[in-house]
Structures are given as structure tokens and as C-alpha cells.
Amino acid sequence: MIFYLYLIGGLISAVWGWSIGQFFLSDLNLISILPYPEIILFPCLAISLAVGMVLNEIFVTNPTRLKLALKKTIKPLVLSLGLGAVLGLLGGTLAFIISTSIFEIPANLTRIFTWLLLGATVGLTEGLTWKFARYDQLQQRLRQSVIISTLAGLLVAITFELFSQQMAKSPLSGLEDLIGFAMLGSIIAVSLGLSFSPSYLSALRAGSGFEYTTQDYQDMQTDYPRINSPILRFVNQNRKKKIEEGLSIALPKVHRSRSIKIGSARDDDIYIPKIPPSIATIELHPRSTFLIPSEEYINNIYINGARVTSDQRILLKHNYLVSFTTLNKNGQKVYRFIFYSRFLDPEA
């Protein structure tokens, strides 16, 4: 499903950028004033694809909380507009200079380089947008964005050089640029979306059960839920240890598997009083996260409201609800976490 969302988002953004470019070139007749379409088309496509990918990431991350997420992403949207305009103008100007007869470059090489430059411009715009928006967990995305987008441009260029004669004789003649932009947008959106999904920040957000009530206030002065490991921290609160409702525990990014224990044992990494000791283990991998229930206490674990029935590991996905119950049958308390695996979630 996510693949198709990225694919459709890239297609729509590319067609939108091409349409805006045609509006400037044809409807406003700017082609008569500035007979170099690259200088117009490059900014239009860079802006549309960067904005489209930002909005697509927001939707995929928060399909049910768009209004709240949009408040958090005003800055990257504004940055994508500004960076797309500036970098698009620079890229379009460079493409025009190279396409002039000064360098005497063969036409086919000029077309290939133009597509490469267009892909690099889009990737640079998208990567710099997240970098300047100061999403620290996406700082490394800049390099990959440029590389992936440039390779996408190269793929489109090679495809067109191989099939240009066939397309010229087909009913699609005259729509080569539109098809090329659509291919470029789709390849970039899908490649970036899937290569950075899940994104760099995974977290467990404390939900109901971690709020303070009058009944258990006295107990919480000495025995309270807390993070018990130096590798764990709260998002934006590095020194705090006590787990409270609404706070999110950032899970460390790993290059090989690593385990985090949850339970009431004193050495458990996430300590929650009165639930079973070492009730479950979170197994972290570079691109996935699993919950491994303790066989002895599977009746005290729920995933999305359903009781766990075996000790087989469970793949955690974005917005999964993980619940643990205390051992006492009378007045049993439930502690809930929401698992997040996407950086833009406003509550993670």
C-alpha cells in the first residue's frame, strides 16, 4: 500500500510541475521572452516534487492526524518552495549553458546530462529541505537524496535514448517531456520513500496507565516507571528518567540486532512496577523492530487490543498499540505504549 502511495504521489507531483511549467511557457508566453525552457521547467519540477514528497511523507506518517502534523511541517514546506526555486533556476541555467553550441557537445549526451542535472536538482532540493528544517534524524538523507535522484535521472535519460525513435512514431509523440517527468518523479518518490521507511526515529510513546492518579501517587514517589538504560532517552528530554504519559522513549538506531527488556525486574531497561519481570523484549534491527513476549507471561501482553497467544516474535509497525497488565487480578492496571517508526509523527 505504501509503495502505491509513493508512486501516485510522485506521479501527481511531476505532472503538476510540468503543468505549471507549461502554463508559464505557453499560457503566459514566457517562451517568447526567455526562449530557454529549462530555466522555467527546472524550478517548477524541483518545487513540485520536493513539496509533493514532503506532503506524501506527512500523509503516510499521520493518516489520522494530518492537521496536527501539518503544523509541524510548515517550515519544510516553505523551505522546499524557496530551495526549489533557487536550485531549479541554477540547474536550469547550467543546463542551458551546456546545451549551447559553445561546448559542441553531441545532442544525445546533452539530453542525458540535462536529465542527470534535473534529477540532482530535485534530490538536492528535497535533501536540503529536511536538513535546514533541522530534523536531526534526517541529516544523512541529503547525500542519499542526491545520489538516488541523479541515478533516477540517468535511468530516464537512458530509457529515452533507447526508445526515442519508437516514441516519435507513436501516438505519444509530443508528450515525451511529460512522460519523462512522470517517470522521474515516480522513481525518485518510490526510491526515497522506501529506502527511508521506516525512517530514522523509532519510539515508544507512553499512553494511558502512565498518568498519575491519587490512588497510586504515594507509590510513585519511590517506585515509578522509568527508563533504566543509558542507551535509552526521551525525545527532546535527555536527562529525564521517569516515564510519564505523553513522553516518547527514543529507541536507538542500530547497525546490528540489539535487545531492550521491559518488565519489573530491577535490571530491565524499561522498568514498570507490578507488571511481570522481563515480560517482553524489544529486538531492534536496522530496518525492523520486533516484540518478543515472555512465554510465561503472554496473558499479560496485548497488541492492538488483542491478547498475545504465543511467544513468537511480533513485527511492530507504525502506530501499533502495545499493552502490559499488572500481575494482580483485582484492580489490574494496564500500561500502554504506542510504537512509532516515522520521524514526522508530532507525538513521537
Please tell me the CATH code under which domain 202-340 is placed: 2.60.200.20
Percentage of the residues of the chain whose pLDDT score is greater than 90: 21
Residue that has been written with the C-alpha cell 510465561 in this structure: 296
Number of helices followed by number of strands (H, E) in the chain: 9, 13
Q: Which residues contact 257 (CB under 8 A, 6 or more apart)?
A: 283, 284, 285
The pLDDT confidence band at residue 304, using thresholds 50, 70 and 90, is very high
Interatomic CA distance for residues 51 and 295, integer angstroms: 47
The continuous run of DSSP H or E covering 66 comes out as: helix 66-72
Residue that has been written with the C-alpha cell 547550467 in this structure: 94
- Mean pLDDT, rounded, for 226-238: 83
SS3 115: helix
Interatomic CA distance for residues 314 and 303, integer angstroms: 9
Most confident of 34-43, 119-128, 250-259, 263-272: 263-272
Residue 218 has pLDDT above 80, yes or no: no
Which residue has better confidence, 345 or 339?
339
CA 37 to chain centre: 32
Q: Are 112 and 158 in contact (CB under 8 A)?
A: yes
Kindly report the length of the chain: 348
Domain ranges of the chain: 2-195, 202-340
What is the structure's pLDDT at 219?
A: 53
pLDDT (tens digit, 9 = 90+) per residue, 32-83?
Answer: 877 778 888 889 988 998 888 878 777 776 666 667 667 767 888 888 889 8
What is the structure's pLDDT at 226?
A: 92
pLDDT (tens digit, 9 = 90+) per residue, 76-99?
Answer: 888 888 988 898 888 888 888 877
Interatomic CA distance for residues 21 and 199, integer angstroms: 32
- Mean pLDDT, rounded, for 12-30: 87
The x, y and z cell numbers of residue 335, run together, are: 500500561
Among candidate residues 154, 79, 159, the one with its CA nearest the CA of residue 120: 154
- Mean pLDDT, rounded, for 251-268: 90
Percentage of the residues of the chain whose pLDDT score is greater than 70: 81
Q: Are 199 and 328 in contact (CB under 8 A)?
A: no
Give Cα separations from 273 to 225, 246, 267, 268 (angstroms).
6, 18, 12, 11
pLDDT (tens digit, 9 = 90+) per residue, 163-199?
Answer: 766 766 777 666 777 788 888 888 888 877 666 554 5
Among candidate residues 194, 195, 190, the one with its CA nearest the CA of residue 49: 190
At position 224, the amino acid (one-letter code) is Y
Residue 106 has pLDDT above 80, yes or no: no
Which residue has better confidence, 139 or 55?
55
Interatomic CA distance for residues 153 and 159, integer angstroms: 10
- Mean pLDDT, rounded, for 218-244: 78
Of 67-71, 208-212, 309-313, the range with the lowest mean pLDDT is 67-71
Beta carbons within 10 angstroms of residue 230's beta carbon: 7
Residue 138 has pLDDT above 50, yes or no: yes
